[in-house]
Amino acid sequence: MKDKWAKHIGKILNPTDNILYVQLIFKQCLISIVQVYMPPNDAQEKVEVAKFITDQINEYNNNNNNNYLIIAGDFNAIVNKHQDKLHVTKQWNNNRIFNTLLDNDFIDTYREANPNKKEFTWSNGSNSTRIDYIWLSPNWTNELIHSSIRDAKAVTNSDHNIVTCIYNTSDIIRNYKAFTCARNNNERLIFDYASMDNDKWQGYTTKTDDELVNSNLEILLNQDSHNKKDINSIWQVIKDILLKAAKSKIPNKKIKVGKNMARSTDTTYINKHNPEFKIIEVPTIWNQTWALHIKSAWNQTMELIKKYRTKAQNQQIEDYINKRAAMIKNN
């Protein structure tokens, strides 16, 4: 874990050999990460893992205004026997914990990003299945950017493939730095995920797989033993590879932060409504690009809302929004 994340660790729990829990504490929220291994045969251990996951889901439901939950690991089970198994057989494992996750609207990241793909994380020679998952709590519904399954042979000796996901944390961890001192001579690399389509993501996946065939990584992995420094070196090589692939296949640009993120703002008074009413304008943030981003995000949200409401309800919501938008524009 990078130092910038590690400094936010508030709690680490390892209640059983099959469970690892890490809690990250930020000013705006808590992020809980649960890593599990669901034993395929030990009934008692399966109950322990399922109970821990259920307890975390219940805690999330009681505090979901500022709690975010990630549950990941090897579940030794599949959600859908037609999509998550190469050859459908009479015998298939559907762990009941999946029902709990789905009933609480948790997001199967790979399936959310790839609704129709059939890719697998484990094979026994005669059949292949997707038994490794990353689940996100429902308050991250609009933050998932991408998820994929990668061949792990070049990276690890595990017989499982790697599940990855990219999700946006800027809205829940960062704000507009209104009370943060300006940073001098600093740059950020911004990736334009919105412009990516299936072909571009496939190009990124292929580039990543090619780059993972790396001699330095192979030397590190083939050592007889590994200490903490070795593990950090391995992860650094992997991160460099992922970044190199992203830079070459995902549209990106560098932006300077510092003066652009200084404290200064413009204050406008609206005397028509109330002389003391203020609107804080941030010219460096609110521009045409940002406006288009907001419009796009809102359209996506509206499409989700429309699925679960009647035509009359949708029209009523749209009328309210248009009325409010007109008020803002006129004032």
pLDDT band at 72, cuts 50/70/90? very high
pLDDT band at 47, cuts 50/70/90? very high
Which three-class secondary structure string do you get for the chain?
A: CCHHHHCCEEEEEEEECCEEEEEEECCCCEEEEEEEECCCCCHHHHHHHHHHHHHHHHHHHHCCCCEEEEEEEECCCCCCCCCCECCCCCCCCCCHHHHHHHHCCCEEHHHHHCCCCCCCCEECCCCEECCEEEEECHHHHHHEEEEEEECCCCCCCCCECEEEEEECCHHHHCCCCCCCCCCCCEEEEEECHHHCCHHHHHHHHHHHHHHCCCHHHHHHHCCCCCCHHHHHHHHHHHHHHHHHHHHHHCCEEEEEECHHHCCCCEEEECCCCCCCCEEEECCCCCCHHHHHHHHHHHHHHHHHHHHCCCHHHHHHHHHHHHHHHHHHHHC
The top-scoring range by mean pLDDT among 65-69, 129-133, 279-283, 304-308 is 129-133
| Res. 282: pLDDT tops 70 | no
pLDDT score for 216: 77
Over residues 281-293, the mean pLDDT reads 54
CATH topology of domain 3-175: Deoxyribonuclease I; Chain A (3.60.10)
Q: CATH 3.60.10.10 occupies which residues in the chain?
A: 3-175
| Res. 318: pLDDT tops 50 | yes
The top-scoring range by mean pLDDT among 26-35, 148-157, 308-317 is 26-35
pLDDT score for 164: 92
Over residues 162-189, the mean pLDDT reads 64
Across the chain, what does the average pLDDT equal? 78
Model confidence pLDDT, tens digit, residues 226-264 = 787 777 788 788 888 888 888 888 888 776 654 444 333
pLDDT score for 326: 66
pLDDT score for 46: 93
pTM above 0.85, yes or no: no
| Res. 78: pLDDT tops 60 | yes
| Res. 59: pLDDT tops 80 | yes
